[in-house]
């Protein structure tokens, strides 16, 4: 481990005590590594010339999601998520296990789990914009707007037309988030599929569906000049108009999440989601 990046969410460690502990532990285990500390909110601004060996993310789920989008396609580096936030469902470990985790990394006792990301293209009369998501892409009405009329095409074939509050296109990683709250299924994290889940559909026939990850999803949304928002991982939002076509497909790049031999997805699912 020659080059280690530590991306810290400063709002989770205002006095810097956790960061000091992390650097101390890294120095003990990897004495000759170069450690670079970055503000997680500014990750997209940095450019690294040398190969990155490990990216340690200190924060919660939101921090990890933002980092995964920021480095997507720019750096091929494993991510070690260290939870110092609230939920921490996506994190590899809790902060109290950090020292033990470093020793496991040194001894090669870890695996890399590839997680798919979504790539979204917005086609409208003005220009084409793109966005990425590790969890989900959501198309939904504004707070005071009427229901949105959706047309959903899968691989150029009409799936369904329906009215509702919105629609969620989620990865397996995001299946435990908003998609789950809207009635979507849990999907094991490294399964190569995409889910499509309606939000409060007015039409009974519109049901969640699981698609192969190579599927291309085209959505046309109309709200009769009311507000429609496109959201990436619940963090980045764009207002779109009725003339926008939205194409969503699997990204060419993967998020590489570092996990250890004692990682138990179902135990985490019970502790963080089901029993809360």
Q: CB within 8 A of 259, min separation 6: which ones? A: 92, 110, 111, 112, 113
Q: Where in the sequence numbering do the catalytic residues fall?
A: 61
List Cβ neighbours of 115 (8 Å cut-off, separation of 6 or more): 68, 134, 171, 172, 173, 189, 190, 254, 255, 256, 257
pTM of the complete model: 0.92
- Predicted confidence (pLDDT) per residue in 1-53, tens digit: 889 999 999 999 999 999 999 999 999 999 999 999 999 988 888 888 778 99
Residue 59 — left, alpha, or beta (φ > 0 → left; ψ -120 to 50 → alpha)? left
Neighbour count for residue 214 (Cβ, 10 Å) = 11
**Tens of pLDDT along 115-148?**
999 999 999 766 678 899 999 999 999 877 788 9
For residue 272, the 8-state DSSP code is: I
Q: Do 224 and 218 meet the contact criterion of CB atoms below 8 Å apart?
A: no
């Amino acid at each position: 481990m020659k080059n280690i990046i530590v991306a810290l969410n400063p709002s989770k460690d205002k006095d810097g005590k956790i960061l000091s502990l992390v650097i101390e532990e890294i120095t003990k285990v990897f004495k000759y590594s170069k450690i670079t500390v970055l503000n997680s909110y500014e990750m997209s601004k940095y450019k690294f010339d040398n190969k990155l060996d490990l990216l340690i993310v200190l924060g919660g789920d939101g921090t990890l999601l933002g980092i995964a989008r920021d480095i997507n396609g720019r750096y091929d580096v494993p991510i070690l998520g260290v939870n110092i936030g609230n939920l921490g469902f996506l994190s590899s470990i809790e902060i109290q296990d950090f020292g033990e985790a470093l020793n496991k990394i040194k001894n090669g006792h870890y695996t890399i789990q590839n997680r798919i990301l979504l790539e979204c293209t917005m086609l409208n009369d003005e220009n084409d914009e793109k966005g990425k998501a590790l969890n989900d892409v959501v198309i939904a009405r504004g707070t005071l707007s009427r229901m949105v009329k959706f047309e959903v095409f899968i691989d150029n074939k009409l799936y369904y037309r329906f009215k509702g509050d919105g629609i969620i296109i989620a990865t397996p990683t995001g299946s435990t988030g908003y998609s789950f709250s809207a009635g979507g299924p849990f999907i094991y994290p490294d399964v190569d599929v995409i889910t499509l889940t309606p939000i409060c559909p007015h039409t009974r026939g519109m049901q969640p569906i699981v698609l192969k990850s190579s599927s291309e999803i085209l959505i046309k949304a109309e709200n009769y000049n009311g507000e429609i928002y496109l959201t990436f991982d619940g963090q980045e939002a764009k207002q779109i108009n009725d003339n926008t076509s939205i194409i969503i497909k699997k990204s060419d790049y993967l998020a590489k999440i570092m996990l250890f031999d004692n990682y138990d997805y179902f135990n985490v699912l019970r502790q963080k989601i089901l029993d809360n």
